[in-house]
Chain A
Amino acid sequence: MPAEAAVDKELNLQGEVCPYTFVKSKLALEIMQPGQVLRVIVDNDESAANVPRSMQNEGHNVLGVTKLNQKEWQIVVQKS
């Protein structure tokens, strides 16, 4: 992931579970402009795997998936 990818919107989904981590990420991205970047924070491994995959299936660019600490993951997606 680019070291300093500019993030246009951040979505903190701590406490949220699949499939709603994807649903909420999708809703956030839907009203962003193509090329804009969304950062999503999740706190479970399942979402860390499923959200990026679902975003790619939708045709968006997953710029990176990073484990921030013991619980939290950061997923950075650019809207296509």
Chain B
Amino acid sequence: MADGTAAKLAHLRAPITELDFSEEEIRRYSRHIVLPEVGGTGQKRINRAAVLVVGAGGLGSPVAFYLAAAGVGKIGIVDNDVVDMSNLQRQILHTTADVGRKKVESAREALLALNPHLTMVPHDVRLNSTNIRDILKEYDLVAEGSDNFPTKFLVNDACVMTGTPLSMAGIFRFSGQILTVLPGVGPCYRCLIPQPPPPGAIPSCQEAGVLGAMAGAVGVMQATEILKIILGKGELLSGRLLLFEALQMRFEPIEVKRNPECPVCSATPSITELIDYDIACEMPQSPAPPASK
């Protein structure tokens, strides 16, 4: 089957004939430029790339930070939530002073402070079947780090339908999982899980907990995969679901094959329109601490 990502990544694969970095950029990206796999050419590709980060939370924070540090030219962040005190255990884009503030705004400030060269686009929305295609048009790749299955399935389906490479990940207690979806090349999320689990079947991090550092461990792997796709280097987690069990410090790759009957990415998909699954069991924000006496 044809590489469905070719159109999206074409401009990143185009020849680069000018390496016109400023003095500051040469210094900022010097540790990339000296890498044989990157060089000035690879750095220019990174600078040209546009990545959408879905969720400015636990996973989205390290993804966005490391993509900004790397010099990704345009980073979009999708999140319509505000910062809550319970986020700060792992959502390192935000600070204590940001509690109550829109996550996309605190994210924007943090990313531009790290790298003022980038264009950061805040998408203060919840993704749904009517807005996602228009948003995806502006980006070459997606890093998905939402905290709910409806969004994960929506993003997977939209990326498959638009040929957009996607890094998908999840964290839970002391475990993490990460998969790279290359439409038309490897399996998609639905090849692994054809339908979302029923609401309540899987406890959320709010109920079950998560070690904060898991967000960093797995989110940085997402950023690494995204950069490798941009550079066209290395072996990707396409067709491999990488499991990370932090208590044992064990990494286990699980081979995942394309499902010939996948509802979305098979030759005869049964799902051809985007679906808005219900987002159930959204727990309320934590209450304000009692006033001191």
Q: B-contacting residues of A (Cβ < 8 Å)?
A: 19-20, 22-24, 26-27, 30-31, 54, 58
Cβ contact within 8 Å between A23 and B19: no
Which residues from B are CB-within-8-Å of A54? 34
- B231 CB, min distance to chain A CBs, angstroms: 14
CB of B251 closer than 8 Å to a CB of A? no
Which residues from B are CB-within-8-Å of A22? 34
Cβ contact within 8 Å between B39 and A20: no
CB of B101 closer than 8 Å to a CB of A? no
- Contact A20:B21 (CB < 8 A) given known A26-B39, A27-B33, A30-B39: no
CB of B40 closer than 8 Å to a CB of A? yes
Which residues from A are CB-within-8-Å of B21? 27
Cβ contact within 8 Å between A23 and B17: no
**Contact for B26 among A20, A30, A58, CB less than 8 A:** A20
Which residues from A are CB-within-8-Å of B33? 23, 26-27
CB of B27 closer than 8 Å to a CB of A? yes
Which residues from A are CB-within-8-Å of B16? 31
- Alpha-carbon gap, A23 to B41, bound state (A): 13
Which residues from B are CB-within-8-Å of A24? 26
List 29 contacting pairs A-B, 8 Å CB cutoff, sorted by A.
A19-B30, A19-B34, A20-B26, A20-B27, A20-B30, A22-B34, A23-B26, A23-B30, A23-B34, A24-B26, A26-B33, A26-B39, A26-B40, A27-B19, A27-B21, A27-B26, A27-B33, A27-B39, A27-B40, A30-B19, A30-B39, A30-B41, A31-B16, A31-B17, A31-B18, A31-B19, A31-B40, A54-B34, A58-B36
Q: What residue of chain A has the Cβ atom nearest to residue B39's Cβ?
A: A30
- A46 CB, min distance to chain B CBs, angstroms: 16
Supply 19 further A-B pairs (C-beta < 8 A) apart from A24-B26, A54-B34: A19-B30, A20-B26, A20-B30, A22-B34, A23-B26, A23-B30, A23-B33, A23-B34, A26-B34, A26-B40, A27-B19, A27-B26, A27-B33, A27-B39, A30-B40, A31-B16, A31-B17, A31-B18, A31-B40
7 nearest interchain CB pairs?
Answer: A27-B40, A23-B30, A27-B19, A30-B40, A23-B33, A30-B39, A31-B19
Which residues from A are CB-within-8-Å of B17? 31
Which residues from A are CB-within-8-Å of B36? 58
Which residues from B are CB-within-8-Å of A27? 19, 21, 26, 33, 39-40
Residues of B1-24 at the interface with A, using a CB-CB cut-off of 8 Å, are 16-19, 21
